[in-house]
Amino acid sequence: MNEEVVSGNEELQSTNEELETAKEELESSNEELNTLNEELQTRNAELSQLSDDLGNLLIGVNIPIVFLDTELRIRRFTPVAGKVLNLIAADVGRPLADIASTFRATNLGELAAQVTEHDQVVEREVRDRGGRWWGLRMRPYKTVGQKMRGILMVLLDIMVLLDIDVVKRSLDETRDARDFAEAIVETVREPLVVLDPELRIVKATQSFYETFRVSQQDTNGKVLFNLGDGQWDVPRLRELLEHLLPLNSRFEDFEVQHNFPSIGYKCMVLNARQIHRTSSSAPMILLAIEDATDRKRADEDRVRHDSAIRDAASQAILSAGPDGKVVMINRMVEMMFGYGRDELLGQPVEMLLPESFHEAHVAHRAEYFAAPRHRPRGLALNLKGRRKDGTEFPVEIDLNHIETNEGTRAIALITDLTERKQASDAIRDSQAQLAVAREIAGLGFWDWDIQTGEIRCSEEWGLLHGLAPGTMSISLDEGVKLIHPDDREGIRNEFNQTLQGVKPYEAEFRVVWPDGTIHWLMARGRMVSDLEGEPLRMLGASMDITKMKLAEYDRRAVASRLAAAQADERRRISQELHDDLTQRLAGVAMDLGRFMANPPASSRGIKKGLLSLQTRAVKAAEVARHIAYQLHPSELEDLGFETSVKAHCEDFGKQERIAVKFTARKLPLEIKREIAAGLYRIVQESLRNIAKHANASRVWVVPPQLEMEKVFNR
């Protein structure tokens, strides 16, 4: 228990010591507070003194000054500023932008915001509504630590700052400038009119009076719309002028067309803008009038002329803007696509394309107008157009651009390729047919340049002359060396006669191939001359006639053998006529002579003699008929080839006592007379040779089927 009491006393003693220490610290703090209080009282006295000095200074300087805080609210202003800016004590704390400005066309709030944003001084010369000029200066309001705490706005009376001599000189310069400007205005050929806010004519230039033949007394002070017979009273012009001053706007190129009483039809272009005068607070309107009659007529003539040229063009011409809408077409576009002018103007150009092209064309159009350039035709683009009836057709487009007042315009020259494509297909077909014909006929084409001596040729021509495949040109000397030496002189003569205009070139000659073989060629050519008739080149074709020549040689050999056979046949028939028929007829004639000289006494003897003569005459006739039958049997024409041959075989078998069997295969129903006669003689000659030389007892006559078909189908 005692220990606890002792411990509690120690704690109380320790607490007492801490309290004494805290007391000492509190006394020290009180002393510091007393010192700070004395310093604060001293500073308050100084601030009060400074505030009094600043207030007296602001009142004493007689300068409009306004203090703004960082939020552009009015914090303080001088009495003079209150008078100039119409401020009252209740305006303190209000935003500067809410205060109605007493200056013309000056927004103090915007200027203050500019100072705050850019931390810079802004200076302007401003004019109040009373016409007095002030120098406005706004600068950042900064603390000693260069922190912005607002804006200081000061207005200085410029007239107080200027020297009177400077002012007078300025007035003289202004007067001179005015006189100079009036001299320029009077010199301008276009009429000018100055209007007041009520649209009355304040002043007009001399050119106005002269152009419209009116007097100054009848013009000045009059409302513009009441001049003359009201030619200026155009609703749209009235609207523009009445809204020009309130909106501080302007208008240009307003067109007025009227038949004026004293000067006739005129097209006037008006331009107007607002003007301000230093001597008056009311704004004015300056109206400039341009006589565009001649220009408009020239433009109309040019438009008609251009339209006539476009419509007369053989190509379709179309113009469109970046939005893809059609702004101009000519007559050929209407004819090509089937649309009328009113149906196309203002419509998207994609309506002239197949639907499958629309999306891609929009992208191509945007790309083109981003970088306009000339795109010539012939770029192998697969372009198609679409007519009003939905049919599609191939087109070719030459694309270019022009710059106009409305912006860039694309100009498209469109060509319908339908006929060209058909012609191209026809040419391609003709070329294919020509190639086939050249291949079948073995034709080779050549082009001899007479000036250079070069012969350009087709590959077939080179092959006809034994040249290596792919040879497309040789010199004239090389071409001559290909010709057989015996034919060269004749070819030169043919060429010379063609060059002299005697006849077209045509020749048959031999060529010697590198392997030594000889081939026959036939060539024909035509000469091409210039305007003076001088030969330039010769165009021609050559073909191989070797087989034809060999066939001709064979034909000649056959003809020679046939002539020899005919001669032999004539000799044989002549021999038969002499040895058989002539002797028989001579015997008959001799017996007939004896019979006439010594006729029998009895009728029976006469009858017997005549019967003998008749029998011998019939035999002679049979011999003659047999010879004629051998020459050309009449049965061929009456009975036909097959029956005649069969009958001849039967007669031959009976006469020569040889068994002859004729077997006819499928023969044509009709055979040419000369062919039938030839075949018949072949059968006769064959059977006669068999009878003379073969010693045969049985013969078969069978026409070979294949060979007969070849003969009959020639």
Please compute Rg for the chain using Cα positions: 65
Contact 529, 498 (CB under 8 A): no
Question: Which residues have C-beta within 8 Å of that of residue 569, sequence separation ≥ 6?
Answer: none
Report the range out of 54-58, 204-208, 673-677 with the highest average pLDDT. Answer: 204-208
The pLDDT, as a whole number, for residue 686 is: 84
Task: Using the predicted structure, report yes or no on whether residue 623 has a pLDDT greater than 80.
Answer: no
Lowest mean pLDDT among 31-45, 171-185, 264-278, 362-376: 171-185
pLDDT at 450: 85
| Range with top average pLDDT, 493-502, 583-592, 680-689 | 493-502
Residue 683 has pLDDT above 50, yes or no: yes
The per-residue pLDDT for 709 is 43
Q: What mean pLDDT is predicted for residues 331-344?
A: 89
Of residues 252 and 354, more confidence is placed in 354
Give me the percent of the chain exceeding a pLDDT of 70: 79
pLDDT confidence bin for 168, thresholds 50/70/90: low
Tens-digit pLDDT profile for residues 534-591? 888 888 888 888 888 888 887 777 667 766 766 676 677 666 666 666 777 777 777 7
pTM for this structure? 0.33
The model's confidence at residue 707, banded by pLDDT at 50, 70 and 90, is: very low
Stretch among 53-57, 144-148, 272-276, 497-501 having the lowest mean pLDDT: 53-57
**E strands, 303-442, in order:** 316-320, 326-329, 383-386, 392-404, 407-416
Residue 261 CA neighbour count, 13 Å, CB half = 8
Among 148-152, 377-381, 605-609, whose mean pLDDT is lowest? 377-381
pLDDT above 70: residue 186: no
Which has the minimum average pLDDT: 40-44, 441-445, 566-570, 633-637? 633-637
Q: What is the pLDDT of residue 339?
A: 92
pLDDT at 486: 92
Of the two residues 696 and 282, the one the predictor is more confident about is 696
Specify the pLDDT at position 309: 57
Say if CB 415 and CB 315 are below 8 A apart. Answer: yes
Residues 166, 163: Cα–Cα separation, whole Å:
5
Confidence class for position 43, pLDDT limits 50, 70, 90: confident
Q: Which residues of 69-131 form beta strands (DSSP E)?
A: 74-77, 122-127
Highest average pLDDT, of 294-298, 525-529, 588-592, 634-638, comes from 525-529
Strand positions, DSSP E, 112-200: 122-127, 133-142, 148-157, 192-195
| Rounded CA separation 85/193 (Å) | 37
Q: Answer with the residue of higher pLDDT: 560 or 254.
A: 254
The C-alpha atoms of residue 8 and residue 11 are separated, in whole angstroms, by 5
- pLDDT for the residue numbered 389: 92
CA angle 239, 244, 246 (to 5 degrees): 110
With CA atoms as reference, report the closest residue to 466 among 436, 522, 507, 510: 510
Strand order in the sheet with 74-77: 74-77, 65-68, 148-157, 133-142, 122-127
Task: Indicate whether 475 pLDDT > 80.
Answer: yes
Which pLDDT band holds residue 347 (cuts at 50, 70, 90)? very high
How many Å apart are CA 660 and CA 361, to the nearest integer? 91
pLDDT for the residue numbered 713: 42
At residue 706, the pLDDT reads: 40
Is the separation of the CB atoms in 460 and 438 below 8 Å?
A: yes
Task: Please report which confidence band the pLDDT of residue 184 belongs to, taking 50, 70 and 90 as the band edges.
Answer: low
Which of 32-36, 96-100, 266-270, 671-675 is predicted least confidently?
A: 671-675
Q: Tell me what pLDDT residue 296 has.
A: 78
Q: Give me the chain's average pLDDT, please.
A: 78
Q: What is the pLDDT of residue 577?
A: 63
**How far is residue 460's CA from residue 479's CA, in Å, rounded to a whole number?**
15
Provide the pLDDT for residue 159. Answer: 62
pLDDT on residue 708: 43
- Confidence band of 443 (pLDDT split at 50, 70, 90): confident
pLDDT at position 46 is 76
Task: Flag whether pLDDT at 240 surpasses 80.
Answer: no
Residue with the bigger pLDDT between 171 and 371: it is: 371
Query: Model confidence over 271-309: pLDDT tens digits?
Result: 888 877 655 557 788 888 888 787 777 777 666 656 665
